Amino acid sequence: MSGQDEFEDDLLHAMTRTGEGFRPDQAPLAAGGLARGRRRWRRRSAAAVVSGAAALALVGTGAVYLSGGAGDSRTGTALTAAASGSGAAAASGTAGAASPTASPTASPSASQAVISGDEVLATLRSLLPKGQVTEGKGRGTDDPELRGAFAGADLVLDDGQGKSRVQIGIQKHRKGQSQPRTCPADLKVNRIDSCAVTKLPDGSELVLNQGHEYSDNRADTKEWFAALTGPDGREIMLSEWNSPQEKGAPDSRPNPPLTLDQLKAVVTDKSWDRTVAALQYDGVDNAAQASGMTLEDRQAALGKLLPAGVTVTGITGNEIFADVRLAQGAVTGSLVLRLQKVEPGDKSTEQLFEGSTALPDGSRLKLYGAGSTDAKRPPTADVLRGDGLRVMVAQGSTGKPVLTLDQLKAIASSPLWKAGK
């Protein structure tokens, strides 16, 4: 199985595991949506910045927040040329002592700029309080593993009161793809001392949180963070700990070094504008691949294609994917419908349809599930038409199976599905 096949397999399973959600690190996190989202985001950021597991930052729909919020007098100082030499050479030094050399200014080609990991690290260092910086690492838009969709930095800061791990991650989402943030209803369950979500004058959403690394009291290490989501799709998350490591190290100070106001100042600083402009949007560009059929259009088409006695009781989703709830008498089930325009000659799609069956109208068909060559996947019919429309219909995981593989094939191969509307 090719890497693209594996990706599609994972994606299909993710779409059909409706209601299962994500498995948090600890059961108490179930009560805190913000805590779950923060941990998922931080794990993804840490993987990208430190370990190189960039796929975690790219494969998911991801969520990220940013915005050119209210900067301070240091605006632009972080845009000084990134420290020359390797990231290791930039790992030691004094934070908060930005060089007075001229900083680059935004240009019409700023969106085409390349931001190095050294520059991301230098930007973060210039916005932190003065202190000794060690273990500095940065990853920029020039990192081939990240494909320009993530930038971040990770370092240890000692301001004279003890060492603290500080980490920042930056991504950019298309409209409608950012996840709204809320504070848990029960802060105590999640070991959160304070949490607030505010709207800034420019429309950005800012989360400020003071909590602990573990909600189950296994350790007292504190994590404070600021998460900023901006109207331009930016998402910046800055985390700090009162320990040189987020996990597995003794606490080195009573609290992390930055106050909530300082965390806010860093994530809202205009110095990040250059990085945000250089970032590629993460996730799938649904608008570019949308068929033009609304959820209502898709529900109406399904109503004509479902076998007698099977009805649609609900439909939710986006421009490409729809989760459809079905009923057949007292039996309830579900299916996943994917409707997507594919660019001619798209190599990844061509790989997916290798070995496909040719239909009379020239479309290509792949079947998965029981009765097919790949019985491990849920029953699925995947059709690629000559006009570039891809129609995939898969059995969902909620309820009981309502449709056979042949019925899924009949739905997916129907001419009722429209492209280019």
Q: In whole angstroms, how large is the CA radius of gyration of the chain?
A: 24
Please give the Cα distance from 124 to 315 (Å, whole number).
Answer: 44
Mean pLDDT of 48-69: 28
Is residue 50 predicted with pLDDT exceeding 60?
A: no
pLDDT score of 284: 63
pLDDT score of 81: 26
Please give the Cα distance from 203 to 285 (Å, whole number).
Answer: 23
Is residue 343 predicted with pLDDT exceeding 50?
A: yes
Please give the Cα distance from 93 to 102 (Å, whole number).
Answer: 20
- DSSP assignment of 115-133: --HHHHHHHHHHHSPSEEE
Q: Which residues contact 193 (CB under 8 A, 6 or more apart)?
A: 187, 210, 211
Is residue 5 predicted with pLDDT exceeding 60?
A: no
- Give the pLDDT band of residue 162 (cuts 50, 70, 90): very high
pLDDT score of 67: 24
**H or E stretch covering 40:** helix 33-46
pLDDT score of 278: 94
Is residue 1 predicted with pLDDT exceeding 90?
A: no
Looking at residue 97, its amino acid is: A
Is residue 238 predicted with pLDDT exceeding 60?
A: yes
pLDDT score of 420: 59
Is residue 336 predicted with pLDDT exceeding 90?
A: yes
pLDDT score of 95: 52
Is residue 338 predicted with pLDDT exceeding 50?
A: yes
Bigger pLDDT: 18 or 410? 410
pLDDT score of 109: 40
Is residue 384 predicted with pLDDT exceeding 60?
A: yes
pLDDT score of 352: 86
Is residue 415 predicted with pLDDT exceeding 90?
A: yes
Number of C-alpha atoms within 13 angstroms, CB side, residue 170? 35
Q: Which residues contact 119 (CB under 8 A, 6 or more apart)?
A: 81, 82, 138, 140, 275
Bigger pLDDT: 312 or 14? 312
Is residue 56 predicted with pLDDT exceeding 50?
A: no
Give the burial string for 319-339 (b: 16+ CB within 10 Å, else e).
bbbbbbbbbbeeeebbbbbbb
Mean pLDDT of 135-156: 92
pLDDT, averaged across the chain: 76
Is residue 36 predicted with pLDDT exceeding 80?
A: no
pLDDT score of 88: 32
Instruction: Compute CA 288 distance to the chain's CA centroid, rounded to the nearest angstrom.
Output: 18
Query: Domain residue spans in the chain?
Result: 3-16+286-412, 32-278
Q: What is the dihedral of CA 118, 121, 125, 131, to 10 degrees?
A: -90
pLDDT score of 144: 85
Is residue 55 predicted with pLDDT exceeding 90?
A: no
Instruction: Compute CA 303 distance to the chain's CA centroid, rounded to the nearest angstrom.
Output: 34
pLDDT score of 279: 94
- DSSP assignment of 229-243: E-TTSEEEEEEEESS
CB 256 within 8 A of CB 161: no
Whole-prediction pTM: 0.56
CB 157 within 8 A of CB 95: yes
Instruction: Kindly report which listed range (8-12, 106-110, 346-350, 399-403) carries the lowest average pLDDT score.
Output: 106-110
Tens digit of pLDDT for each residue in 282-322? Answer: 766 666 777 888 889 999 999 999 999 999 999 998 888 89
pLDDT score of 254: 96
Ranges 83-87, 348-352, 384-388, most confident: 384-388
- Give the pLDDT band of residue 391 (cuts 50, 70, 90): very high
Please give the Cα distance from 60 to 44 (Å, whole number).
Answer: 10
What percentage of the chain exceeds 90 in pLDDT? 51
